[in-house]
Amino acid sequence: MFHRIRRRAAEPSEAERRFFERAMQMDGQVPPEVERMRAELQNAAPAPAPAGDDFLPPELRVPSHDQLDGRMMPWPQPLALDGELVTCTGCGAYRDWLILSTRDQIWLRCRAGHQHHETRLDTAWYNRHAGPADATHATFEDCLRHLGH
Ligand SMILES: [Zn+2]
């Protein structure tokens, strides 16, 4: 018994020899089927977008501050700075402002549409007082309308 097994191992059958020969020939070759599937995958699927690019649908994205040209908030009450009531140089209005924050500057806009750069206020002040934006607008005018100006 032992002797027969050893002999069989030493002398592979004809079928085994052919199998090994074919395996040696195929070594390093890619079956045509695999090649075809690879090509199909490459044609069908566009390259995946970089992570984060379309992570959320546009309507769910909140623009970061530097994506916005500016922000504005209504300020209905009088505004006192350094113990002094801010008044409009154009018409003397002292309340019902729109406060605009844009490019690190704070501007005040009265009901009549006069604007002046308020150097006593800065973006940090604006951020402390402004709530989260409730809407974004494509243009300055849209935003004014939204705030009733
Ligand atoms: Zn004014």
Determine the distance separating the centroid of ligand 1 and the alpha carbon of 96, expressed in angstroms. Answer: 10
For the cut 70, the answer to whether the pLDDT of residue 138 exceeds it is yes
Determine the distance separating the centroid of ligand 1 and the alpha carbon of 98, expressed in angstroms. Answer: 11
Determine the distance separating the centroid of ligand 1 and the alpha carbon of 118, expressed in angstroms. Answer: 14
| pLDDT at res. 146 | 84
The 3-class SS string of the chain reads CHHHHHHHHHCCCHHHHHHHHHHHHHCCCCCHHHHHHHHHHHHHCCCCCCCCCCCCCHHHCCCCHHHCCCEEEEECCCCEECCEECCCCCCCCCCCEEEEEECCEEEEECCCCCEEECCCCCHHHHHHHCCCCCCCCCCHHHHHHHCCC
The better pLDDT of the pair 137, 64 is held by: 137
Domain contains 73:
yes
What is the domain extent for residue 88? 63-146
Domain contains 110:
yes
Domain contains 30:
no
Determine the distance separating the centroid of ligand 1 and the alpha carbon of 133, expressed in angstroms. Answer: 25
Mean pLDDT of 114-131: 94
Range in 48-57, 84-93, 101-110 the model is least confident about: 48-57
Domain contains 89:
yes
Domain contains 132:
yes
Domain contains 94:
yes
Domain contains 84:
yes
Determine the distance separating the centroid of ligand 1 and the alpha carbon of 93, expressed in angstroms. Answer: 6
Residue 62: band (very low, low, confident or very high) from pLDDT cuts 50, 70, 90: low
Domain count, the chain: 1
Domain contains 122:
yes
Determine the distance separating the centroid of ligand 1 and the alpha carbon of 111, expressed in angstroms. Answer: 6
Determine the distance separating the centroid of ligand 1 and the alpha carbon of 95, expressed in angstroms. Answer: 10
The better pLDDT of the pair 15, 44 is held by: 15
Torsion from C-alpha of 75, 81, 85, 90, nearest 10 degrees: -70
| pLDDT at res. 67 | 56
| pLDDT at res. 133 | 73
Residue 110: band (very low, low, confident or very high) from pLDDT cuts 50, 70, 90: very high
Residue 5 Cα distances to 13, 14, 20, angstroms: 12, 16, 20
